[in-house]
Structure 1
Amino acid sequence: MKIDYKKTGRRILRTILGISLLILGAYVFLYFRQERFFFNPKLLDKAYEYKFEQPFEEINIKVAEKIELNALLFKTRTASKGVILYFHGNAGAIHDWGKRASLYTDNQYDILFVDYRGYGKSDGFYSEEKQLYNDAQEVYNYVKTRYDESRIIVLGFSLGTGFAAYTAAKNNPKLLILEAPYYSWNTFIASIAPVPQMLINYEIPSYQFLSEVSCPVYIFHGSRDFLISPEENSKKLKALYPDKIHHIMIEGAGHNGIYITKQYYDILKNILAAPLTTALKETTSFED
Structure 2
Amino acid sequence: MKINFPKIFRRLLRVIVVLAILHVLVLVFLYFKQERFFFNPKTLDKTYVFDFKEPFEELNIEVDDNVFLNALLFKAEASKGVIVYYHGNAGAIHDWGKRAPLYLENNYDILFVDYRGYGKSDGKYSNSKQLLNDAQKVYDFAKTRYSEQNIITLGFSLGSGLATYVASKNNPKMLIINAPYYSWKTLISEQIAPPIPEFIVKYDIPTYKFIKEVKCPIKIFHGSRDFLVHIDENSKKLQAIAPENIDLTIITDAGHNGIHITKQYYDALKALL
**Pairwise CA distance, 1:4:** 2.7
Q: Deviation at 1:6?
A: 2.6
Q: Supply the distance in 1 between the matched residues of 2:203 and 2:41 (Cα, whole angstroms).
A: 17
Whole-Å Cα distance in 1 between the matches of residues 36 and 66 of structure 2? 22
Alignment of 1:152-171 (within 5 A): 152-171=151-170
Cα-to-partner distance string for 1:181-225 (whole Å, 9 max, x where unaligned): 000100111112111112211120111111111100000000110
Residues 2-13 of structure 1 correspond to what in structure 2 (within 5 A)?
2-13=2-13
CA drift at 1:113: 0.3
Q: Aligned-pair distance for 1:105?
A: 0.5
Q: Deviations over 1:62-113 (max 9, x none)?
A: 000121000001111x211110000000000000000110111011111000
Distance 1:47 1:198 in 2: 40
**2:147 matches 1:181:** no
Q: Work out the CA distance in 1 between the residues paired with 2:207 and 2:27.
A: 25
Q: Could you tell which deviates more after superposition, 9-18 or 237-246?
A: 9-18
**Where does structure 2 lack aligned partners over 5 or more consecutive residues?**
none
Aligned residue identity for 2:117: G
Is there any run of 5+ residues in structure 1 with no aligned partner, and where?
Answer: 273-288
Aligned to 1:269: 270
Aligned length: 271
Q: TM-score, normalised by structure 1?
A: 0.92
Quote the offset at 1:161 in angstroms.
0.2
**Residues 77-96 of structure 1: pairs in structure 2 closer than 5 A:** 78-96=77-95
Following the alignment from structure 2 to structure 1, what is the Cα–Cα distance between the partners of residues 2 and 190? 47
1:171-210 alignment runs, 5 A limit:
171-192=170-191, 193=193, 194-210=195-211
Q: Distance in 1 between matches of 2:238 and 2:8?
A: 52
Which AA in structure 2 matches 1:185?
W
* Structure 1 residue identity aligned to 2:102: L
Counterpart position of 2:231: 230
Give the Cα–Cα distance (whole angstroms) in 2 for the partners of residues 183 and 2 of structure 1.
Answer: 57
Counterpart in 2 of 1:101? 100
Letter in 1 for 2:104: T
Q: Which residue of 2 aligns with 1:139?
A: 138
Cross-structure match for 1:20: 20
- Match of 2:272, as an amino acid? I
RMSD: 0.9
Q: Which residue does 2:212 correspond to in 1?
A: 211
| 1:79 match: secondary structure | coil
- Runs of 4+ in structure 1 deviating by more than 4 angstroms, as ranges, are none
Deviation of residue 170 (structure 1)?
Answer: 0.5
Shift of 1:53: 1.2
Secondary structure in 2 matching 1:182: coil
Q: Which digits, 9 at most, give the CA deviation of each residue in 1:208-262, with x for residues without a partner? A: 1111111000000001100001100000011111111011100110000101111
Q: Secondary structure at the match of 1:145?
A: helix
